[in-house]
C-alpha cells in the first residue's frame, strides 16, 4: 500500500463545523439519485458525507438534506472509498438548528431527521 493512498487534501475552513448523524441523498445536479448517505458533519460552507457507493462520483453533485428541507449544489473537494468532502456552491443557513446555549447543532433532532420543537 502506498504511503499517500490514505491522505486527504487539507482545506482551510472558515466556518464552524457541527458533528451530526443524519440521512441525506447524494444526487446528480439533474436530481437523479446516486446514493443514500450519512451526513457526518456540516458547516454553512460544506459537509462530510459517508456513503457506500462503489462508483466514482461526479465532481459536481446535489445534496438533499431532509432535516434542513433543502437541496444544495456542491463540489466534491476530496473523496475516499467511503467518504466525500463537499464545498457548497452557496452558503446555507444552519441557524434554525443551532443550539446557541451549547453552541452545537440539535444532534438528536438531526439523528431522527426532524426538529422535535414545540411551538
Query: Sign (positive/negative) of CA torsion 38, 41, 43, 48?
Result: negative
Q: Residue with C-alpha cell 500500500?
A: 1
In a domain, 33, yes or no: yes
Enter the pTM of the model. Answer: 0.73
- From CA 100, how far away is CA 36, in angstroms rounded? 30
What band does 67 get if pLDDT is binned at 50, 70 and 90? confident
- Render pLDDT for 28-60 as a digit per residue (tens, 0 to 9): 999 999 999 999 999 999 999 999 877 788 999
The domain total for the chain is: 1
- The predicted pLDDT at position 55 comes to 75
Q: Which domain covers residue 48, as residue numbers? A: 18-112
> Which pLDDT value is given to residue 112?
44
Q: What's the pLDDT score for residue 106?
A: 59
Residue 3 inside a domain? The answer is: no
CATH number at residue 65: 2.40.10.220
Amino acid at each position: 500500500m502506498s504511503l499517500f493512498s490514505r491522505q486527504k487534501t487539507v482545506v482551510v475552513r472558515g466556518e464552524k463545523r457541527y458533528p451530526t448523524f443524519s440521512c441525506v441523498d447524494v444526487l446528480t445536479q439533474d436530481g437523479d439519485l446516486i446514493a443514500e448517505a450519512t451526513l457526518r458533519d456540516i458547516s454553512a460552507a460544506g459537509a462530510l458525507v459517508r456513503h457506500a457507493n462503489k462508483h466514482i462520483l461526479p465532481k459536481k453533485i446535489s445534496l438533499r438534506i431532509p432535516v434542513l428541507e433543502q437541496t444544495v449544489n456542491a463540489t466534491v473537494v476530496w473523496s475516499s472509498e467511503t467518504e466525500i468532502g463537499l464545498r457548497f456552491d452557496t452558503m446555507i443557513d444552519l441557524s434554525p438548528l443551532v443550539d446557541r446555549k451549547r453552541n452545537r447543532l440539535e444532534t438528536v433532532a438531526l439523528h431522527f431527521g426532524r426538529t422535535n420543537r414545540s411551538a
